[in-house]
Structure 1
Amino acid sequence: MPKTDTILSTKSLHYFLQLIDTMNYTQAAQILGITQPALTQQIKKIEHAIGTPLFGQMGKKLYLTEAGKQLQTGAIKLLGTINSVVNDIQEFTQADKGNISIGVLDSVDSEVLRKFLVKFNQKSPDITVNVCYFNRKDLWYNLDNNLIDLALIYVPDNMKKSQVNLQNQYDYMKVCEDRLTILTHDKKAKAGKSYPVSEFIDRQWVAYPDNFYLTQIMREKFGSKMNAKNGMKVPLSFSSTKQLLDTAEETEYDTFINNSYYQLHKNDINLTPIYLKDDTKFSTSVIYRKGKKDVPRIERFLAEFKKFLDE
């Protein structure tokens, strides 16, 4: 019987899950900070220990085998359990040591968080903070399964997740109030004014992908007109806010972003900021499972972050 206890370490399982995230050996190795041959060797060791391939290849694309899918489920549960045990132990340690993992919704501007982390690291150099970016589905999955401690996300979140009850399962701390800001080339538009959706029906847009929160807000406002012949036309979409803005300024396309990002970068943006009438208000918030605040380092982190925001 193979000695799986020496092969299936937390490190090797972490390598395995990172490869699943990218489905690319080169990218996964770069993220992990190791060489591609080292990653390949690690995966082969796991496959040898289990006795079956974890990945298949179709052309140049990798895919998970059935064995790979089963190990993925087990690895996530195992690492989640280990993280939970470590958290339980560290609850009784000092508030200035340990690890904090933060998941950020990929469409949220995290510049304020980044600036805070620089100051927090100076005050608490022995607390290691890891920040990863996720789409909404993966972010909730990681939060639900205790794979991350905190999540920076828009609230309310109109993802179809009726089973999540913020009041019962989660606590949250508001970072900033926000709203959708339209950036237009329309020379008739007056900065800061609000206009009905009908004013934008025939314009073309560069937008976030369809599963992004701000795009979903626009879908709700345009309703059935979103994909209609005379509705909202989106020839190009980008997940990166900077690429979205650069493209909007290089074309005649309008775009939309969250107002907090606009306020931070308005000196570099040459389009006119306007709003939709009766637009949806939301907030950027830090969400965490109830009980997380009992962990000293996380309690300290949240207290320092709130103080930073107040200042």
Structure 2
Amino acid sequence: MKANADAVLSAKSLHYFLQLVDSMSYTQASQILGITQPALTQQIKKLERAVGSPLFGQVGKKLYLTDAGSKMEETARTLFNTVHNTVDEIQQYTESDSGYISIGILNIFEPKVIEEFLIKFGKKYPDVRLIVNFYNREELWDKIDKNEIDFAILYIPDINANATTMRQFATKEINKESIILLSPKKNNALEDMLKEKWASYTEKSYLTHIFKRYYTSIIPQNEIKVRFSREKELVNFAQANGLNTFVTNSYYQAHQKDISLNPVKTQEVINFQGCFVYRKNKAQIPRLNNFLTEWDNFLDEKDYTTRLDEPETFN
């Protein structure tokens, strides 16, 4: 029994297992983990031998969790959450220049300024380990709700950011954001665009959610010819196929030289905010409080909009 218990409670095995649950792809999970696919497969088989039951099934190329796998996921997340909370409590009394910071970024958030800040922060605090991943909005809210990340970088308002949910969270504004409509035609009018073909985001994307408030109700669904989860692929496809689309103002500012589509002036501007979202007690942890202070100092040196307009630098 002891050998089996050791196998099940291996932090490495459980971490690999949860990454595979999140990715549902051995190839993608192994890339994220920085290991080979055979090494990942070995860890999963080790867990399956320990519990005496398959944790994953497969239909064609698609993985799914078995009943045993679902139970293991619940247990693994509970264990990691407990450990994470305990470490946080301990590190509340440690120095601000050590430990780790876990950050989840919305997959459609323009990362240029955040990347610049993280590089600078990492150089100044080499003993603080940064763990950074990109997620869609549902995954990101799930991660922050389960205390699996320290900071979520996302857009507000959001349907998840209701009064009840936000009682346990604090927010810190990163930037003021808006949507820019793009057309292959010069001086195109909004009323004409609404009759034309579009490239849009996936149904559950934040930008789809906020765009629907203003325009989707008057754009026939059959006029949306393609959906992408990321802005780069969306813009490239729209440009190549002569479609209308839309992006955040930040994305347009950062990549304007590569965008041949034309911005369209509208009377109504769709505004929202990029924010850090975090549990209120996180601000008591020195390294996390220091992270937020360094962000303020970073913007005091040069504001967000100016940094967006500058060429990328990794110095």
State the TM-score, normalized to the length of structure 1. Answer: 0.91
CA contact (8 A) 1:179 1:280 kept: yes
Q: Distance in 2 between matches of 1:294 and 1:260?
A: 31
List alignment gaps of at least 5 residues for structure 2.
303-315
CA contact (8 A) 1:2 1:49 kept: no
Q: Distance in 2 between matches of 1:86 and 1:275?
A: 50
Q: How many residue pairs align between the two structures?
A: 300
Check if 1:285 corresponds to 2:275.
yes
Check if 1:215 corresponds to 2:205.
no
Amino acid paired to 1:175: I
1:83-102 equivalent positions in 2, closer than 5 A: 83-102=84-103
How far 1:275 sits from its partner (Å)?
Answer: 4.2
Q: Distance in 1 between matches of 2:121 and 2:104?
A: 17
Q: Secondary structure at the match of 2:213?
A: helix
Query: Cα deviations across residues 264-283 of structure 1 (Å, max 9, x unaligned)?
Result: 22222222212443233101
How far 1:2 sits from its partner (Å)?
Answer: 5.0
How far 1:299 sits from its partner (Å)?
Answer: 0.7
Q: Distance in 1 between matches of 2:221 and 2:107?
A: 28
How far 1:223 sits from its partner (Å)?
Answer: 4.9
Q: Secondary structure at the match of 1:221?
A: coil
**Which residue number in structure 2 is paired with residue 71 of structure 1?**
72
**Which residue number in structure 2 is paired with residue 251 of structure 1?**
241
1:1-311 equivalent positions in 2, closer than 5 A: 1=1, 3-7=3-7, 8-159=9-160, 162=162, 164-166=164-166, 168-189=167-188, 198-227=191-220, 233-310=223-300, 311=302
How far 1:117 sits from its partner (Å)?
Answer: 0.6
Amino acid paired to 2:83: I
Q: Secondary structure at the match of 1:266?
A: helix
Q: Secondary structure at the match of 1:95?
A: coil
* C-alpha spacing 1:217/1:78, structure 2 compared with 1 (3 Å): same
How far 1:135 sits from its partner (Å)?
Answer: 1.2
Identity percentage of aligned residues: 42
How far 1:215 sits from its partner (Å)?
Answer: 1.5
Q: Distance in 2 between matches of 1:19 and 1:27?
A: 8
CA contact (8 A) 2:5 2:50 kept: no
CA contact (8 A) 1:153 1:285 kept: yes
Q: Distance in 2 between matches of 1:214 and 1:253?
A: 17
State the TM-score, normalized to the length of structure 2. Answer: 0.90
List alignment gaps of at least 5 residues for structure 1.
190-194
Indicate the RMSD between aligned Cα atoms, in angstroms.
1.8
**Which residue number in structure 1 is paired with residue 308 of structure 2?**
none
